[in-house]
Structure 1
Amino acid sequence: MRIEARQSLLLSIDMQDRLLNTIPELTRNTVIQNSTRLLAAAAALEIPCLATAQYPQGLGPIRDDLRENCPQTFAKTAFSCWRDTDIRDWLEKHQPHPQVMITGVETHICVLQTALDLQHAGWQPVVVADACASRDPGKAESALWRLDQAGIPVAVAESVFYEWLGDASHPQFRSLAPAWR
């Protein structure tokens, strides 16, 4: 499956400091950087994006630097975003964009369950591996393997970005590409 900007939307799952701070620092920094760059690119390319916050009363809000390019946020308690009525309604409203780029935490829980449910519902989820993480890297690896076995594409953030652009002659290329160097 080729990732197309006009068919994509971006779903950022539970990028909250209380969750992110449980992830090894190097991985955490990579996930935050890649998520931030994808959200900025999505905003510039007018790709719909949605952020979720798992039980924000206890775990706090999503990071301000991520919310800056994704003002649409939903609180949830379900692990799979698809199982939350408000999130499902938002996704269905954006149905002309069947490709769902998924970033966030934790890979082996909310990201995995969301991707599996989206695929089952007829969407085309793509898990952005270097914009997702788990407390235990082994559990994240296991989840990525399981997603692959389920036929759900796994990509890296830079690949998603360049597939969204498609060509160096894209009008946004010069302004957005420096963030990826």
Structure 2
Amino acid sequence: MLNRKRTGLIIVDVQGKLARLMHDSEAMHASLRTLISGIKAIDLPIIWLEQNPEKLGETSPELTELLSGEPISKYTFSACGEPRFVDAIEASDVHTWLVAGIESHICVYQTVRDLIELGRKVEVVTDCVSSRTPANRQLGIDRMLDAGARPTSVEMCLFELVGSCKVPEFKAVLDQIK
């Protein structure tokens, strides 16, 4: 079970025209909006990344409007190749990271693999990851699970983190799911 005191969210590279080329891009963006809004309602930390933003562009505007702070720019496929990202991970009290973004078989996979090697637990939000093709999306998910990540979904992780219909955050999360 996810522990809300030790869980955070990482959004990987949902940016520019590439984000629109993902398999089922509209559904992925809608799921990401729900996930981000729910995580904010629970008040968990969010780290968001941009791969080579000078070439690929900024994070999708419908996500940026929900996110605070600034993204961490990276030029390696694994976010763990970026010292600012590793510093942010190590400075946090988070031990379990929910991971979402693109592309499932490249940057998301390599980041997840390296987070696990750093001793972190990882849950892949499967309805919030994609690649340009369904086959590569699934291959990325399969490889992440083989590396030790666990699968979850937006609804599963949010309700697991809330834990009860009697906590104040429940209504805000429920409103996002509806």
TM-score (ref. length: structure 2): 0.95
The structural deviation recorded for 1:32 is: 0.8
The corresponding residue for 2:142 is 145
Structure 1 residue 90: Cα displacement: 1.0
What is the aligned partner in structure 2 of residue 66 from structure 1?
63
- Asked if the contact 2:130–2:137 (Cα under 8 Å) also holds between the matched residues in 1, the reply is yes
Alignment of 1:34-45 (within 5 A): 34-45=31-42
CA RMSD across the alignment: 1.2
Matches within 5 A, 1:52-131: 52-72=49-69, 73-94=71-92, 96-131=93-128
State whether residues 104 and 132 of structure 1, in contact with CA within 8 Å, keep that contact through their aligned partners in structure 2: yes
What's the counterpart of residue 21 of structure 1? Answer: 20
Alpha-carbon offset, residue 177 of structure 1: 0.4
Match for residue 9 of structure 2?
10
* TM-aligned CA deviation for residue 175 of structure 1: 2.4
Aligned residues: 177
Question: Could you tell me which amino acid in structure 2 is paired with residue 81 of structure 1?
Answer: A
**Percentage of pairs with the same residue:** 24
Alignment of structure 1 residues 151-162 onto 2, 5 Å? 151-162=148-159
Letter in 1 for 2:17: R
Q: Alpha-carbon deviation of 1:144?
A: 1.2
Corresponding residue SS for 1:32: helix
| CA distance in structure 1 between the aligned counterparts of 2:141 and 2:44, rounded to whole angstroms | 25
Distance 1:28 1:104 in 2: 11
**Maintained 8 Å contact 1:51/1:67:** no
For residues 147 and 109 of structure 1, the distance between their equivalents in structure 2, rounded to whole angstroms, comes to 11
Letter in 1 for 2:126: A
* 2:90 partner letter: E
Is the Cα–Cα contact under 8 Å of residues 82 and 117 in structure 1 kept in the other structure? yes
- TM-score normalized by structure 1? 0.93
SS of the residue aligned with 1:20? helix
DSSP 3-state at the match of 1:100: strand
Counterparts of 1:176 and 1:144, CA distance in 2 = 26
Query: Where do 4+ consecutive residues of structure 1 move more than 3 Å?
Result: none
Q: Is the 8 A contact 2:37 2:176 kept in 1?
A: no
**Secondary structure of residue in 1 paired with 2:90:** helix
What is the CA–CA distance in structure 2 between the aligned matches of 1:133 and 1:19, rounded to whole Å? 11
Structure 1 alignment gaps of length 5 or more:
none
